[in-house]
Structure 1
Amino acid sequence: MAVDSSTRSSIILMEVWNVLRHDWLFLATAKLRAWTDYYETFARVAKMVTIHAFLAVVASKNWELHQMDVHNAFLHGDLDEEVYMSLPTGFKVSDPSLVCRLRKSLYGLKQAPRSLFAKLVTALQGYGFTQSYADYLLFIYTRTSVQLNVLVYVDDLIISGNNSTAISSFKAYLNTCFHMKDLRPLKYYLEIEVARSTIGIFLTQHKYALDIISEVGLLGAKPAKFPIEQHHTLATASGPLLPDPEPLYFAVLWGV
């Protein structure tokens, strides 16, 4: 919400964080303008080749492999810009013209993913991790005989290392910085099932494939060797354009 200087003098800066940090779901739905209300919005995601290399090192050195998740991730980010919003529905005050100033990011804010990543970087570097130049989502910690590697994908962290005590200490540190959920040994990541044995690490997307087939109602369909009729001749279509794809198509496409 745009607020001019004359109006700002009457604004009460409300701390909504103490309410939002509980298990309430509140989304910011304001229509913010890029390069006016915010500047950068990207969510850092690791490269797939980095993920493969990360797991290959773990398998070859027989390191431990853990996963942690930042609970209510986008509520942790700090805002660089001044962001104001209308009062939440049901929130009663004496003056209805008052608005809230956000001190922390919210789900729905365009800059929330970037704010979270910036805070993650600060926390990891504060512990002694070095950010990789090859992939900024890979962080490396080396002290004498201890080595820890962390791979970040938005709010998911994969942790590997050669020392169980060091991994436990690092997890405890993360819990002091964020509200973390310890998923323990890595089993499922980015729609990829991870199975570990004495001979290495096995990756499969069997469950993901079944979920897609189930979503589109083809779980009972017969498999085909070819997705289209062989030797089919394509012709230019002259009819009307197809309507926009259903939202379900994009949900399946992006795995959400």
Structure 2
Amino acid sequence: MRQPPGFEQGAPGMVCKLNKALYGLKQASRSWYLTIQSALFDLGFTQFKADHSLFIRKSKIETIYLLIYVDDMLIMGISSSGIAKVIAQLNKKFSLKDLGEVKHFLGVEVSKTSGGLHLSQAAYIVELLNKVKMSEAKPCPTPMVSDLKLSKVEGEPTIDGKLYRSVVGSLQYATITRPELSFSVNKVSQYMACPLDTHWRAVKRILRYLSGTIDYGLHVKASNFKISGFSDSDWASDIDDRRSTTGYCVYFGDNLISWCAKKQKVVSRSSTEAEYRSLAHTVSEITWITSLLQELEIPMQTPPVVWVDNLSTIALASNPILHSRAKHIELDIHFVRDKVAAKEIDLRHVPSLDQVADILTKPLSLQFFTRLRNKLGVCSLASLELRGSVNLVDIKQAKEEKIQASWKDVLLGPLPMKLDKRKEMQHVACGPAILASC
């Protein structure tokens, strides 16, 4: 350690005594980032422009990726010897602890399955339920009632605001692997300043839903290199200020990699304007993801496809003649037209029933919620381990293709192991809820 330039005091070699830990200082995070960044540059790593927390070191023999979050790191490479070499080099400058193959990272549990990886936060959710003493609460099938309308004025201010903000903040972190919670958590987050009893009941409903789906999480599997997105909005859904809700989700192949549910900053005069603003957010996110994939040297097979359930929005993004109808819309949103004209984005229409982003804009009934949750790739780890490599089949699709199979054949298929009668009956019984859609 040394004294900062311009503030030297006492004899040479003397340093200041810290009365506060470095983690508590405002500049501590910036100082640490510059230190680890300089160390990685010395080891031959280069930094990604699209994501400054991602570093890469390429050679003729191997390629190593390193992702940092404060003082936690993820290292990925082809050979274990190359990874061990990087760890040894970093260990000379910092005190490291090698945890081996990734199983936990920032509260996210990584489990290997026969078809890929399952990302969940089961331990974090259990801790949260114990914190609010709801570990034994009766589970709910959905995180929010389908006809619920929350307001800033309807209810009684009898809730501990500190507890409310603490629980809602914890729920926000749980959405890292639970995208189906994004809308409900975003909704209750809008009342942190003055929570009412109606808001607290909505939070408890989310916790009851979590108590019945503790081991649920995102399932990531091998897929193609196509990017697709779903964009949707709920026009004037907030009964207090009549602002719309934006929702989008982006897929890389069959895997969900980005999603968002948030209230728009301005009031939209029409449903087309609300949908257009949501589309602009979706295209902006896809543009960033595309630039990151280009730096990763992942080839793009086709232009990204964005599915929208509003034909007027597609016309507004594709036809400049309609500009007279949208003079009040900010000019920066019209960058979508440039992307469409340059064929960097392919806009297509999707029926409202198949709009996956619908789960991110409004509360849904159990039937639609379960179907869209499965399309997001959220499932139970126990169900994946039970089925093995079984392919789920949509009931509607099976009927259209005239697949003549019994429930048992559709659900079980060729199992890699032999089940006894009791386990077989349990497997059949839990099928229809999971089979609703894939």
The normalised TM-score by structure 2 is 0.33
Counterpart code for 1:113: S
Say whether the 8 Å CA contact 1:194–1:204 is kept in structure 2: yes
Larger radius of gyration: 2
Counterpart code for 2:33: F
1:245 counterpart = 2:190: no
Q: Give the alignment of 1:73-88 within 5 angstroms.
A: none
Say whether the 8 Å CA contact 1:27–1:108 is kept in structure 2: no
- The equivalent residue for 1:163 is 79
Deviates more, 1:229-238 or 1:190-199: 229-238
Counterpart code for 2:130: S
Counterpart code for 1:135: D
Residue number among 173, 177, 182 corresponding to 2:98 in the alignment: 182
Distance 2:20 2:157 in 1: 38
Task: Give the CA deviation at 1:159.
Answer: 0.3
- The equivalent residue for 1:207 is 123
Unpaired runs of 5+ residues, structure 1, are: 1-6, 18-25, 30-105
Distance 1:200 1:230 in 2: 33
Q: Give the alignment of 1:67-78 within 5 angstroms.
A: none
Q: Give the alignment of 1:26-45 within 5 angstroms.
A: 28=20
Task: Give the CA deviation at 1:237.
Answer: 3.8
Which whole-Å deviations, capped at 9, do the CAs of 1:150-177 have from their partners, x for residues lacking one?
0011111000101222111111111111
Q: Give the alignment of 1:88-167 within 5 angstroms.
A: 106-167=22-83
3-state DSSP class of the match of 2:90? helix
Say whether the 8 Å CA contact 1:215–1:252 is kept in structure 2: no
The structure where helix makes up a greater share of residues is: 2
Task: Give the CA deviation at 1:212.
Answer: 1.4
3-state DSSP class of the match of 1:168? helix
Distance 1:239 1:199 in 2: 49
Distance 2:172 2:142 in 1: 24
Distance 2:31 2:124 in 1: 30
Which whole-Å deviations, capped at 9, do the CAs of 1:84-118 have from their partners, x for residues lacking one?
xxxxxxxxxxxxxxxxxxxxxx2211111111111
Distance 2:40 2:155 in 1: 57
Task: Give the CA deviation at 1:227.
Answer: 4.4
- The equivalent residue for 1:46 is none
Task: Give the CA deviation at 1:119.
Answer: 0.7
Counterpart code for 1:108: G
Distance 1:139 1:231 in 2: 46
Change (3 A) 1:238 1:148: closer
The normalised TM-score by structure 1 is 0.55
3-state DSSP class of the match of 1:181? coil
- The equivalent residue for 2:358 is none
- The equivalent residue for 1:23 is none
3-state DSSP class of the match of 1:171? helix
Change (3 A) 1:204 1:122: same
Say whether the 8 Å CA contact 1:27–1:107 is kept in structure 2: no
Distance 1:9 1:182 in 2: 40
Say whether the 8 Å CA contact 1:139–1:149 is kept in structure 2: yes
Change (3 A) 1:222 1:15: same
Task: Give the CA deviation at 1:198.
Answer: 5.3
Q: Larger relative contact order (C-alpha < 8 A, sep ≥ 6)? A: 1
User: How much identity, in percent, do the aligned residues show?
Assistant: 32
Task: Give the CA deviation at 1:249.
Answer: 3.4
Task: Give the CA deviation at 1:241.
Answer: 9.1
Distance 1:154 1:9 in 2: 31
Change (3 A) 1:174 1:221: same
What RMSD, in angstroms, separates the aligned Cα atoms of the two structures? Answer: 3.3
- The equivalent residue for 1:40 is none
Distance 1:149 1:194 in 2: 18
3-state DSSP class of the match of 2:97? strand
Change (3 A) 1:212 1:123: same
3-state DSSP class of the match of 2:137? coil
1:193 counterpart = 2:106: no
Change (3 A) 1:134 1:232: closer
